[in-house]
Structure 1
Amino acid sequence: MAATLTASSVAPAQVRDSAEPLIQEGSGQLPVTAAVVQLPVQEAAPAAVTDKDSDEQAAQTVDRSDSLADMVAELRASSAGSRELECLAGAIYFESKSESLQGQLAVGHVIANRASSGRFPSSYCGVVYQRSQFSFVRGGSMPYINKAGLQYRNAVAIAKIVDQDLKPSPVGKALFFHARRVSPGWHLTRVSTVGNHVFYR
């Protein structure tokens, strides 16, 4: 914590009678002011990508060879940019916000896999709002999300990574998952376990 300066902690300027005056008394001359030197103006550096920039601008800054954490840092935003990405980000948020980035990526890919499988609705919103598929959907809508929070902004980044296929799925073509704490007795092929979720196809 920075110390607070008070009048008693700052020494007053030392002025003595013997100090040399700035202008000689009785000379009638004013001090000469220094010439103002104008320095060349440098162009401002380009602004960093912000939450308000478009998805295309954000995507241009991402290198496919970047780590998942670096990609998330580059693409993190409080706005998904489209209704479809909002649905995908919302599902990632509610299903896996407490998971690792890899776990969130796995959940996002399951939704994308469903949308492209021909067995489920063909859009992210269609998959997410399909009846009896996701327990967080109640009455055809999602609960409130604090979109300024880091967890949601991470979910938006993961949604963009999944949508743009910037990182491969850690669970292959999995179409289903459940929390490890439950045992639904599904007769499906188990693909992988990532964090607290078990994935199937």
Structure 2
Amino acid sequence: MTPPSIPFPPASSETQLVIRHDSLAALVAATPHREPEDNDLRCLATGVYFESRGEPLDGQLAVANVILNRASSGRFASSACAVLTQPGQFSFVRRGVIPSPSTSAAWRAAVAVARIAREEQWHSPAPGALFFHARHVSPGWARPVVARLGNHIFYR
């Protein structure tokens, strides 16, 4: 009896080369900039941009993961856009309207971080976090702290 053959995927222009990076900064830098091709990725990047554009990349990634974690939790809306527009959740959203970010290096980084988070290319620095706030705010939450990154504190 001959062993079953194991098919190998054909080489094509669609085959992606996976490159390991030593740092999140290297991965962000290596992510080619393309404007988001779908509205949910645009919303995710916009959330990163407005909530954390001045923060270290790990803090930006943690913000992206909070938005994604909420969308998949069943406790919040089920898309990044809907998570952002839930009343009282994100201070940059006014009356349910998500503003447009300016095209800049910070926007390009936010788009890269959003792609990396959505494609799970880097481990979350705040695993399981569903909430965060700036350090200067004291909401009095009795939630477990997951991480302190840059100017934000992340909670489960």
The separation in 2 between residues aligned to 1:85 and 1:112, in whole angstroms, is 10
Does the C-alpha gap of structure 1 residues 75 and 61 become closer, same or farther in structure 2, counting only changes over 3 Å?
farther
Partner of 1:159: 114
Q: CA RMSD in A?
A: 1.8
Post-superposition offset of 1:138 = 0.8
- Give the counterpart of 1:77 among 33, 57, 60: 33
Are positions 1:174 and 2:129 aligned together?
yes
**Native 8 Å contact 1:112 1:124 kept in 2:** yes
The separation in 2 between residues aligned to 1:76 and 1:113, in whole angstroms, is 25
Bigger relative CO (Cα 8 Å, ≥ 6 apart) = 2
Partner of 2:50: 94
TM-score under structure 2 length normalisation: 0.85
Moved over 6 A (4+): none
Are positions 1:192 and 2:118 aligned together?
no
Partner of 1:128: 84
**Native 8 Å contact 1:62 1:74 kept in 2:** no
The separation in 1 between residues aligned to 2:28 and 2:61, in whole angstroms, is 10
Which consecutive unaligned segments of at least 5 residues does structure 1 have? 1-56
Larger Rg over CA atoms: 1
**Native 8 Å contact 1:87 1:124 kept in 2:** yes
Post-superposition offset of 1:158 = 0.2
1:44-55 matched pairs, under 5 angstroms: none
**Native 8 Å contact 1:78 1:152 kept in 2:** no
Partner of 2:70: 114
- Give the counterpart of 2:24 among 59, 68, 76: 68
The separation in 2 between residues aligned to 1:72 and 1:60, in whole angstroms, is 17
The separation in 2 between residues aligned to 1:128 and 1:187, in whole angstroms, is 23
Post-superposition offset of 1:136 = 0.2
Does the C-alpha gap of structure 1 residues 142 and 62 become closer, same or farther in structure 2, counting only changes over 3 Å?
farther
The separation in 1 between residues aligned to 2:101 and 2:34, in whole angstroms, is 10
Post-superposition offset of 1:65 = 3.9
Q: Which amino acid in the other structure matches residue 129 of structure 2?
A: A
Q: Which amino acid in the other structure matches residue 168 of structure 1?
A: H
Tell me the matched-pair count: 143
How many percent identity over aligned positions?
Answer: 52
**Native 8 Å contact 2:46 2:100 kept in 1:** no
**Native 8 Å contact 1:76 1:153 kept in 2:** no
Which consecutive unaligned segments of at least 5 residues does structure 2 have? 1-13
Partner of 1:44: none
